[in-house]
Amino acid sequence: MGLEALGKITFDLQFLSSLISIVIIDLILAGDNAVVIAMAVRSLPKEQRKKGIIFGAGAAVLLRVIATFFISQLLQISFIKLIGGILITWIAVKLFIEGVPEENIERQAVTIAQAVKVIVIADITMATDNMLAVGGASHGNIFLLLFGLGLSIPFVVFTSNLLSMLMDKYPIIIYIGAAILGKVGGEMIMTDPFTASILRPGKLAVYFVEAVFAIGVIVVGKLYMIWKISRIEKEEHAHEG
């Protein structure tokens, strides 16, 4: 099997336009994935964050390369996006609870392995847009496909590093990140073939559900923290009594 099997590197107009399209797609779509990674590594000690980001992004992209070859068929199956949307929404709430500074709540230490696991699950669940866009822009050229998926690693690693540092300084970014993930979850649920065939939602309905999920993730996370704090206080009073 020679290098020809990977697709021709011709540098003609079609090849170059596909190459440029893939770079732009990666730049635009790196955002959501970077939010997941930055929130997942936020609970790690600062000296371990870079490792968590590199391992998480690398593992996720490796799985993307495998998944890209059959993802377009998978997306036509009912319940795939529905389950993915529910999973992303749960991850959004989990990362919000772990990430928001709340002095009264003791948080368990997160390991690199745990952070990587969350990154991979979330990335594969929500990376369908990136995989489909890069797959379409590559026009069946496997070299371009692999190049596009590989290029997303440095984009996502850089953006994740920046976001995780900004989250330490400006906790409001954690709220924005959780809302973005909630929006993605809502959109996946509404555009699943099963949901779409029953509800037949228009664009406005999809936007409304995205907004509800974006706000809902933060509300559920806050309610959980209020419940957790009140439970801790009750336990402390019981011990004092």
**Structure confidence at residue 76 (pLDDT):** 64
pLDDT digits (tens, 9 = 90+) for 139-164: 667 777 778 777 777 887 788 888 88
Q: Using alpha carbons, select from 81, 103, 107, 83 the residue that is nearest to residue 95.
A: 107
**Structure confidence at residue 219 (pLDDT):** 96
- Report in angstroms the alpha-carbon separations of 233 from 105, 116, 137, 239: 10, 33, 56, 10
- Compute and round to an integer the Cα radius of gyration of the chain: 20
**Structure confidence at residue 34 (pLDDT):** 83
**Structure confidence at residue 106 (pLDDT):** 56
In sequence order, the 6+-apart residues with CB closer than 8 A to the CB of 124 are 60, 63, 64, 67
Neighbours of 222 (CB within 10 A): 15
**Structure confidence at residue 213 (pLDDT):** 96
Q: Which amino acid is at 65?
A: V
Positions of the chain with pLDDT lower than 50, given as ranges:
1-6
Residue 156 dihedral angles phi and psi, to the nearest 5°: -70, -40
pLDDT digits (tens, 9 = 90+) for 121-142: 887 777 666 666 666 677 667 7
| Largest Cα span, the chain | 80
Contact between 124 and 63 under an 8 Å Cβ cutoff? The reply is: yes
Q: What is the DSSP letter of 79?
A: T
Q: Which amino acid is at 107?
A: R
Q: What is the DSSP letter of 105?
A: -
C-alpha to C-alpha distance for 14 and 8, rounded to whole angstroms: 11
C-alpha to C-alpha distance for 160 and 57, rounded to whole angstroms: 9
> Can you give the pTM of this predicted structure?
0.70
Domain boundaries, given as residue ranges, for the chain: 11-234
C-alpha to C-alpha distance for 160 and 111, rounded to whole angstroms: 17
Contact between 193 and 123 under an 8 Å Cβ cutoff? The reply is: no
